[in-house]
Amino acid sequence: MQRETREKIGLLLGLIGVICFSLTLPATRVAVEYFGTAVVGLGRTVVAAILVAIILIVRKEKLPSLSQFKSLVIVACGAVLGFPLLTSWAMESLPVSHGAVELALLPLATAGFAMFRAGERPSLKFWLSSVIGSLAVIMYALHLGFGQLQFADLALLVAVIILGLSYAEGGRLARELGSWQVIAWAIMIGAPFFILPVGLHFTTEMIHAPLQAWVSFMYLAVVSQFLAYVAWYSGMAMGGIARVSQIQYLQPFLMILFAAVFLNESVTLFTLVIAGVVVFSVIVGKNAPVARKGSIVERS
């Protein structure tokens, strides 16, 4: 497959992953109201582990090597433990429209970690576009917070950092282990540690939660925790971690759109203006050169 075609497919898969991820906060906002932080944040992994275990057994996948296992622990700490738990806690007090914009800092965090973990060297043009997008996001968050960040915002910022590391590590590892295997094994590593706390926090009253709560929880377990990552890590492996990560700038505004549709949250003119700035930074960043270790400078 030609490099240009491979990168286009990678960008498409990245976009599919972002669309799937964009429903994560709205679904979390609904589910956490009935199930709580621990069950939503950790329980999604326990449920996903059942599906993953069946797939791994049927396909007779071999165990990862020791070096791969070390990388999988990093992925598990971010994508399986830290991000779901912190966002579940934050969504108890923040509206989706507030929390979503802070996730647009993910491309910057992912690209930064890609420099150290995957040997990528984004150009100055790439970094300038990332900074523009990030500043727009920060302005938006401060505007919604009336000039200051809430404590839950700090939890989201920490979630962004650890997920950025997890994305970069997973994208690098996907090139040798396979995209779906990365998140699959990460889920299997984390799930055994989550069974006890989930069991302690689960109550019989939760069984009678409304249908939308259960649908939201199952979406988080099957799509957000597994299938979306398959598309996302495949995209980064094919299109490059730094470049594909730029698509994430669209994610908070897709989240706001879904929040408006499913949760009746309002969309303001200021949101649309900031969205325009962010989309512009995505276009610039997508066309910026990104050098990979052992290769020439690449352009999309």
Q: Integer distance in angstroms from the first to the last C-alpha of the chain?
A: 15
- Distance CA(177)–CA(199), nearest Å, equals 32
Highest mean pLDDT among 176-185, 215-224, 287-296 belongs to 215-224
Average confidence (pLDDT) over 123-131 = 78
For helices 24-59 and 179-201, the axis angle rounded to 10 degrees is 110
Higher pLDDT, 274 or 72: 72
pTM reported for the whole predicted model = 0.80
Average confidence (pLDDT) over 258-265 = 87
Domain coordinates in residue numbering, the chain: 3-298
Question: Residues 9-36: pLDDT tens digits?
Answer: 999 999 999 999 999 989 999 999 999 9
Amino acid, res. 109: A
* Secondary structure, 3-state, the chain: CCHHHHHHHHHHHHHHHHHHHCCHHHHHHHHHHHHHHHHHHHHHHHHHHHHHHHHHHHHCCCCCCHHHHHHHHHHHHHHHHHHHHHHHHHCCCCCHHHHHHHHHHHHHHHHHHHHHHCCCEECHHHHHHHHHHHHHHHHHHHHHCCCCCCHHHHHHHHHHHHHHHHHHHHHHHHHHHCHHHHHHHHHHHHHHHHHHHHHHHCCHHHHHCCHHHHHHHHHHHHHHHHHHHHHHHHHHHHHCHHHHHHHHHHHHHHHHHHHHHHCCCCCCHHHHHHHHHHHHHHHHHHCCCEECCCCCEECC
Structure tokens at 256: 């706001």
Average confidence (pLDDT) over 107-113 = 76
**pLDDT given at position 291:** 59
**pLDDT given at position 30:** 93
**pLDDT given at position 300:** 39
CB 121 within 8 A of CB 178: no
pLDDT confidence tier of residue 296, bands split at 50, 70 and 90: very low
pLDDT confidence tier of residue 265, bands split at 50, 70 and 90: confident
**Of 84-88, 185-189, 190-194, 256-260, which gets the smallest average pLDDT?**
256-260
**pLDDT given at position 287:** 61
List beta partners, residue 129.
none
Question: What's the chain's average pLDDT?
Answer: 84
Question: Residues 234-246: pLDDT tens digits?
Answer: 888 888 876 787 7
Question: Residues 200-216: pLDDT tens digits?
Answer: 999 999 999 999 999 99
